[in-house]
Structure 1
Amino acid sequence: MIDLQSLPAEPGCYLFSDAEGTIIYVGKAKNLRRRVSSYFSRHDIDPKTRRLVATIAGLDFIVTDTEVEAFILENTLIKKHQPKYNIDLKDSKSFAYIHITDEVYPRIHVARGPDGSGRYYGPFVSARERDDLLRLLKSIFGLRSCRRLPRRACLRAHIGSCSAPCTGAIGEEEYRERVKRAEAVLKGDIAGLIRTLREEMAVLAGRQEYERAMELRDQIAALEGLRERQHVDRQKTYNEDIVNYIVSEGTVFLMLFNVDRGTLAGKREYTFDETEGFLEEFLARYYAGNEPPEEVILPEAVDDAITGYLSHLRGGRVRAVVPQRGEKKNLLDLVRKNVEIGFFGDRIKLEELKRRLHLPDTPVAIECFDISHLSGTAMVGSMVRFLRGQPDRRNYRRFRIRTVEGIDDFAAIAEVVRRRYSRLQKEGGELPDLILVDGGKGQLAAAVAVLQELGLKVPIAAIAEREEEVFVPGFSHPLPLARNEKASLFLQEIRDEAHRFAITYHRSLRRKAATP
């Protein structure tokens, strides 16, 4: 039996354990008695906390002088005990880093994680952006990428993309200066590096060292191009992290952007169960393993104790900012938009399709039909299925048209729709939430007639390719959908996939027919 009245009204950490004595949760509190009592007195707790309370068999606590000390202690205890019910911060994606080794002539290459000596930069969300940057840095500064220094110059040295330290073509001091400049780019200080290079170029030109000056000129041009591509450039002299999230059905979908002196340097995504105070717990756990920046932009205010804790970790002041307007609010909105797209993109376009087509339910399963032929010969049909906004390729179907002579797309559509849904009726298969046909009012009418013949009531629409007009039964004119809005673009995506699948099948039949 847990004696709640024996708990002090002081800051500190509490440790819940199960019947076997295993620590299952570690928390911190400004007032230990009030915080621990809330677990057993409230009825509006979330499901995860309800499961935690049902498992608690023991309680221990440690008093601290301040809440900041409680944050520090909480992190230590979580690392030690790895409690089951604390947030498990496993990054939902694994991104690669650019690694500069700690050697006499450092090597630059891609690494999967910061688990060795040297310096790591990243993580990089886009593999293409990372590889482009790596290629550019090796080319601009002539850095080696070979695992071991060869005894003679390699192809990269011969084409001028490596400074060839293996041959003694460059000294250690000059090479390390090049590494230092590459690191300036990776840290986001492109503007400062360009200024330095311009000054050096002017000095070299004054000395009439034109060849070396031209080399710096080419480096500046390449860096200028890189700087233009990195459009999140806000002329900041300090680092920021931007955090935003969406809570849906008891789950937190959170995204964190790392902004390195004004340049977007990385993005991380996390999902975990919603609990009371989850944002502060996330910040405490995340920054226990990552150096806090000078500023953290948040969607809501946090307790002063968390900023004190982050300042302690950093060894300098950390500001927690909740912007209401201006540039920082725009960045916060940008992160939320990325959360929506990254975690809910498919759901959003399905909901938009439901709204714009006036459907009774969200169309989880969508099936689309298309007809392909060459001057009326080898006529075939295709059906593609999308499930929760994504292609369900295992359930694609293709049809050889059996009952239609000559060119008659209406009759062909009627045949494949009849074959598909009469078979589903016979087998007791699950009907889609929306049927889509490639074509206009004629194709739509043919498909609707078949559904009525079969006694099926399934929402149906048609999309005409030329103007991307969308038709539904009961309306003589197309729906007022702009061709570039979400619902229309999604329908075009499904139709194009059906068209691709039909053409692929048609071509395969033609190849077989042409083979003697």
Structure 2
Amino acid sequence: MVSLDSLPHLPGCYLFRDSPEEWGNIIYVGKARDLKKRVANYFQKQNHSPRMAALVAAIKGVDFIVTNTEVEALLLENTLIKKHQPRYNIKLKDSSRYASIHLTDEQFPRIRISRKGQGQGSFYGPFVSAKERGFVYQIVRKAFGLRTCRRLPKRACLRYHLGHCSGPCIGKISKRDYQARVERAKSALSGRTAELIGSMREEMAIRAGRQDFERAMELRDEINALEHLQERQRVEQNRKYDQDVLSYLIDGESVHLMLFKVYRGTLTGKEEYQFPSSDDFLEEFIVQYYSENEPPEELIVSEAIDGSLVDFLSHLKGKKARVTIPRQGEKRELLLLAEKNLEISVFGDQAKLVSLQEALRLPRKPEVIECFDISHLAGSFAVGSMVQFRKGKPDKTNYRRYRIRDVQGGDDFASIAEVVRRRYSRLKKENKELPDLIVIDGGAGQLSSALKELREMRVKVPIISLAKKEEEIYLPGLAEPLNIKKSERASLYLQEIRDEAHRFALAYNRLLRKKALSE
């Protein structure tokens, strides 16, 4: 460990620990142009944000590593953050947008969507657009009849009967012929569609000459699908280059950041992040994000960034990276569009909460809402779901699913009562946060069952139910539903939450049925 006086006026990385000993846990890693000035600023500054004040209070030791340049410091900072996962550095969770198409290394390879490193085989991607990835995946999967099942089943599945799988599980295709399809799929995924289509046309003519019309028709369908894919690829290749558009706004102690992905001149998607504010949040975001994702040829931002960051991006890209601060024109329009989307995303969610508070006459904005639904198949495989929305967005880390244990048959009232009892008895026992509003999928009967359980547990949380047919909202003590149109913002928000709970419950029900069939 070192004292502040021994820190040099040089670039490098500083490491804060929760103990003065060398084996203390690293709680924060930062990069500095001048280590001494940067670290001293933490202890001299008086008006820290609550998060930074908590960090300073937790610092018990300081260590540092000197580098020759700021770019080296940025590279080292990212390496140290990955290695130590410090609690006070922002955490970026990658999403499925960056998954690749994966052909597994098996006797009969299967096609799937996954990230590199998840299994052996060939990976194609990653795709900057989940929509584009899904399009390519569906075409290749269906065109070549590749299997998607984790294990070869003992009997043909629905995909085989729909003509989407060649049926290796039941011996409908030899290993040699299946492997030939896999090789064609690899060619298509690698972009070599033109030469592949040519060879397939030749084979189709040969098959037709031998009167093997069934296989000739299969080849014809494969060629049609590949021509569709080829046209898609040709359109993309004629466009310019890839750009990222980065916009952010600070709301209290939080940063909301929007990243637009512009691929060869076309806006392909957007990503949104939220994390605690700090002095260097933008620099930290750029370093972490582009260390995991290939930098674009041009980064469009609203303000100048440090020259060392530009050098850092160029180092990762392998060629000069451009950072543009547009004042007018098409790039400025893209930046304004990103800002507009960000404002709608952040403050639009607040508008939903306010409208729901007013419609239900709640004492405060329902920032945390939990919704329950029941799913079963003619009384069997009965399950319950609970989804949580926080500040207008799904909080999937707090989703819960329940297998109904105490109810026989398809008794929705008793099933709702069971899952509500299990959820809030546990929260009370563990002394955890209760939601601001509980939503039950159903009518007055389901609401009554849930309310009875809450009263027995002495849980005082506003509760309502939403009936599917006319989207009627029921409140305890009222014989008639509220006079709220289903097209109003408050009702639409409740429908969004209810639909997510329904989707989550149905997915669990299907999973149990699938497991039962495979046993």
What is the TM-score with the length of structure 2 in the denominator? 0.58
Match of 1:47 in 2: 50
Which residue type is aligned with residue 223 of structure 1? L
User: Equivalents in 2 of 1:495, 1:138: separation in Å?
Assistant: 34
Which residue type is aligned with residue 53 of structure 1? V
Please tell me whether the aligned partners of residues 31 and 73 of structure 2 are also in contact (alpha carbons under 8 angstroms): yes
Shift of 1:143: 3.9
User: Equivalents in 2 of 1:491, 1:140: separation in Å?
Assistant: 43
Secondary structure (helix, strand or coil) at the match of 2:316 reads: helix
Is 1:218 the counterpart of 2:224? The answer is yes
Superposition RMSD on alpha carbons, in Å? 5.6
Distance 1:238 1:123, change over 3 A: closer
Distance 1:51 1:11, change over 3 A: same
Match of 1:392 in 2: 438
Is 1:168 the counterpart of 2:168? The answer is no
Match of 2:251 in 1: 248
Match of 1:11 in 2: 11
Match of 1:178 in 2: 185
User: Equivalents in 1 of 2:495, 2:151: separation in Å?
Assistant: 52
Distance 1:39 1:153, change over 3 A: closer
Match of 1:33 in 2: 36
Over the matched positions of the two proteins, sequence identity in percent amounts to: 38
1:27-176 equivalent positions in 2, closer than 5 A? 27-91=30-94, 97-102=100-105, 106-111=109-114, 114-117=117-120, 118-119=122-123, 121-122=125-126, 133-145=136-148, 156=160, 159=163, 162=166, 166-169=174-177, 172=180, 175-176=182-183
Distance 1:47 1:91, change over 3 A: farther
Shift of 1:50: 1.5
Which residue type is aligned with residue 438 of structure 2? D
User: Equivalents in 2 of 1:209, 1:284: separation in Å?
Assistant: 57
Please tell me whether the aligned partners of residues 251 and 273 of structure 1 are also in contact (alpha carbons under 8 angstroms): yes
1:39-438 equivalent positions in 2, closer than 5 A? 39-91=42-94, 97-102=100-105, 106-111=109-114, 114-117=117-120, 118-119=122-123, 121-122=125-126, 133-145=136-148, 156=160, 159=163, 162=166, 166-169=174-177, 172=180, 175-184=182-191, 214-215=220-221, 218-219=224-225, 222-223=228-229, 235-262=238-265, 268-336=271-339, 338-340=341-343, 345-351=348-354, 364=366, 392-394=438-440, 398=444
Distance 1:278 1:121, change over 3 A: same
Shift of 1:294: 2.5
Which string of whole-angstrom CA distances, capped at 9 and with x for unpartnered residues, describes residues 394-440 of structure 1?
A: 498738xxxxxxxxxxxxxxxxxxxx9xxx9xx997889xxxxxxxx
Which residue type is aligned with residue 186 of structure 2? V
Secondary structure (helix, strand or coil) at the match of 2:250 reads: strand
Which string of whole-angstrom CA distances, capped at 9 and with x for unpartnered residues, describes residues 268-314 of structure 1?
A: 54332111110111111222233333333334321111121122223
User: Equivalents in 1 of 2:82, 2:390: separation in Å?
Assistant: 41
Which ranges of structure 1 fall in alignment gaps of 5 or more residues? 185-191, 366-385, 400-419, 433-449, 452-460, 469-482, 499-516
Shift of 1:38: 1.6
Distance 1:65 1:123, change over 3 A: same
Please tell me whether the aligned partners of residues 17 and 59 of structure 2 are also in contact (alpha carbons under 8 angstroms): yes
User: Equivalents in 1 of 2:142, 2:497: separation in Å?
Assistant: 40
Distance 1:75 1:347, change over 3 A: same
Q: Which of these two proteins has the greater Rg computed from alpha carbons? A: 1
Distance 1:204 1:295, change over 3 A: farther
Secondary structure (helix, strand or coil) at the match of 1:393 reads: strand
Shift of 1:125: 8.0
Match of 1:501 in 2: none
Distance 1:139 1:79, change over 3 A: closer
User: Equivalents in 1 of 2:318, 2:494: separation in Å?
Assistant: 54
Which string of whole-angstrom CA distances, capped at 9 and with x for unpartnered residues, describes residues 101-144 of structure 1?
A: 35687531133774233315457886x98666533221234444
Which string of whole-angstrom CA distances, capped at 9 and with x for unpartnered residues, describes residues 331-369 of structure 1?
A: 4445445545656543133457899x9x9997649xxxx
Which residue type is aligned with residue 104 of structure 2? T
Q: How many residues align?
A: 399
Which ranges of structure 2 fall in alignment gaps of 5 or more residues? 210-215, 368-388, 394-436, 446-450, 464-476, 499-519
Which string of whole-angstrom CA distances, capped at 9 and with x for unpartnered residues, describes residues 160-185 of structure 1?
A: 7549773533774x75243221343x
Tell which deviates more after alignment, 389-398 or 83-92. 389-398
Shift of 1:95: 7.9
Secondary structure (helix, strand or coil) at the match of 2:15 reads: strand
User: Equivalents in 1 of 2:310, 2:492: separation in Å?
Assistant: 48
Distance 1:113 1:170, change over 3 A: closer
Distance 1:235 1:250, change over 3 A: farther
User: Equivalents in 1 of 2:343, 2:90: separation in Å?
Assistant: 22
Distance 1:183 1:157, change over 3 A: farther
Secondary structure (helix, strand or coil) at the match of 2:174 reads: helix
